[in-house]
Each structure stands twice: as structure tokens, then as C-alpha cells.
């Protein structure tokens, strides 16, 4: 199979099976790949040629971008192998390329204690700010999801997330009863209608508010710190990792969730051994 024909098949597949933004993200790689190898048979392209192609394509970019382009090219060959040429060996899946284009190890971020988060909530200037912080730190919601909530998305203790990051049609955020009650009271107090946004603020305003609340208690605080705290607090209190991943954070896999969890100290490890097996 020649490369140009393979790319056309792959692009047609993307149009009908992937989200538009995902297909667009492949465009840079596929266009350059076709320009360089379009008149070649796919089987004749060597791993060494592909390695140099990726090096040139990603020169001067971050390690994340390098890994992203590598994964895209690997996915293209995997698609062709699985659907059209099962005898073809994936020329991108080599030890050298896996090592050269791998992601850097994620840095463990300092996890903010429950006491500090409670203080941040207590220092919130008004009910709107408090609810935004609580929906992130208690319910694991992303800031973009919080700011997009409309009144008709709320059903008792559940919030429907429309067009979530996962690509699903929708997802659910679950709330503790006190947060759900405060949210209901806030909507009634503001006289909001069914299709009204609950929090009529932009991302920049919310980010500045959360930064300011952090400074009040002497810490650097951003929107994602609150979501990360929700995962670690749940983990420390015995919530199964699967529930944290699939329900609280709504991740596609457990590895992503594990990055969110804070480092376990020796003291914490011993405490959990005592809880599990007794002193």
C-alpha cells in the first residue's frame, strides 16, 4: 500500500470516528509526513527515516509535544496494521523511539491540607466564590465545567457536564448534600432561570479570585490545586482508586488519576497499616 493512499484512508476514518479537534491536531504531522513520504510504499519506510522525520518535525518543541507527535505517528501505523496490513511491523514502535520521545516523569505537586482548604472556603468573600471553590475541592470539578453550569444541568445532588473533556456526550458531577443545598439556595436567591449560567464570570476572574484566596492563607493556589485536593482527600479517607478515577475525577484511566494523588509520607503509610491491621 502506498503512503498517500494510506493517509487518505486514515483521514477519512478520522472524519467519521474522531472529534473534529482531534483530527485537526493530526494535520501538521500527516501533512508533513505525506510531503516527505507520499510517493513511497509504506513498507519501504525505515525506522531510522521515521526517527529523523520526527526529530526534524519536533525540533525546538517541548517534550510533551515530541511525545504527542510520536504517539500520533504510532497510531497511524497501528491503524493501518490492524485494518489493512496485519503483517506490517510498526516501524515507530522501537526502543530508541520510545526512549527518545517519551514523556518526562510528572512532578509530584505539594498537596494542600484539608485544614487549609477549609480556611480558603471560610475566607471566601461571598456565596458565589465559596461555591466555585467547593465544587472544585469537594466534588472534583474542573474550573471550566464549574463556570459552564446552567440551572437546568442541576438535578438534586447531580450536575450534568455537557460535552466533557473525555469526548462523551455528557458526564455527572456528584455533590455532598451541604454543597447541593447551598447551590440550590444561591440559585433561588439570584432568581436564576432554567437556561441561565449559575456563575456568570469568566475564567480569568475565577482564577484571580482563587489566587487571592490562597494568598490570604499564605499559600500559592490555582484552580487545578483544588481539583487535585479532592482526589487526595478522598484517597486518604478510604475511597477506592477506581471510584476516585471514574466518578470523582472522571479520568479515562487510573494512571492519570495516580498523578493527581499526593506523595505518601512514612507517617501516613504507618497510620494506614495500623488502620488496616491494628496496632
pLDDT digits (tens, 9 = 90+) for 11-54: 999 999 988 888 999 999 999 999 999 999 999 999 999 999 99
**Quick one: fold of 114-277?**
hpI Integrase; Chain A (1.10.443)
Give the model confidence (pLDDT) of 135-146 as tens digits.
999 999 999 999
- Give the span between the Cα atoms of 227 and 249, in whole angstroms: 8
- Cβ–Cβ < 8 Å for 101, 55: no
Q: What local confidence, expressed as pLDDT, does residue 279 receive? A: 57
What does residue 195 show for φ and ψ, rounded to 5 degrees? -95, 5
Q: Where are the domains of the chain?
A: 3-100, 114-277
> Position of cell 432554567?
194
Q: What local confidence, expressed as pLDDT, does residue 250 receive? A: 85
For 102, residues 6+ apart whose C-beta sits below 8 A from its C-beta are 63, 67
> Position of cell 438535578?
155
The pLDDT > 90 percentage for the chain reads 69
State the DSSP code for 84: T
What is the reported pTM?
A: 0.60
Amino acid at each position: 500500500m502506498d503512503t498517500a493512499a494510506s493517509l487518505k484512508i486514515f483521514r477519512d476514518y478520522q472524519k467519521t470516528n474522531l472529534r473534529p479537534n482531534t483530527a485537526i491536531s493530526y494535520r501538521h504531522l500527516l501533512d508533513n509526513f505525506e510531503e516527505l513520504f507520499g510517493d513511497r510504499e509504506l513498507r519501504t519506510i525505515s525506522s531510522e527515516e521515521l526517527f529523523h522525520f520526527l526529530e526534524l518535525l519536533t525540533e525546538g518543541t517541548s517534550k510533551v509535544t515530541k511525545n504527542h507527535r510520536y504517539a500520533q505517528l504510532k497510531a497511524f501505523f497501528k491503524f493501518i496494521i490492524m485494518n489493512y496490513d496485519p503483517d506490517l511491523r510498526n516501524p515507530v514502535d522501537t526502543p530508541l523511539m520510545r526512549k527518545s520521545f517519551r514523556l518526562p516523569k510528572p512532578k509530584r505537586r505539594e498537596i494542600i491540607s484539608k485544614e487549609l482548604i477549609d480556611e480558603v472556603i471560610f475566607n471566601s468573600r461571598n456565596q458565589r466564590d465559596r461555591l466555585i471553590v467547593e465544587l472544585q475541592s469537594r466534588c472534583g470539578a474542573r474550573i471550566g465545567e464549574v463556570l459552564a453550569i446552567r440551572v437546568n444541568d442541576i438535578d438534586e445532588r447531580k450536575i450534568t457536564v455537557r460535552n466533557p473533556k473525555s469526548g462523551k456526550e455528557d458526564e455527572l458531577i456528584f455533590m455532598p448534600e451541604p454543597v447541593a443545598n447551598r447551590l440550590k439556595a444561591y440559585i433561588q436567591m439570584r432568581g436564576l432561570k432554567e437556561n441561565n449560567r449559575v456563575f456568570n464570570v469568566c475564567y480569568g476572574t475565577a482564577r484571580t479570585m482563587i489566587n487571592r484566596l490562597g494568598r490570604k492563607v499564605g499559600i500559592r493556589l490555582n484552580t487545578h490545586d483544588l481539583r487535585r485536593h479532592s482526589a487526595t482527600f478522598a484517597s486518604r479517607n478510604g475511597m477506592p482508586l477506581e471510584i476516585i478515577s471514574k466518578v470523582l475525577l472522571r479520568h479515562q484511566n487510573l494512571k492519570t488519576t495516580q498523578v493527581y494523588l499526593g506523595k505518601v509520607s512514612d507517617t501516613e503509610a504507618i497510620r494506614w497499616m495500623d488502620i488496616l491491621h491494628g496496632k
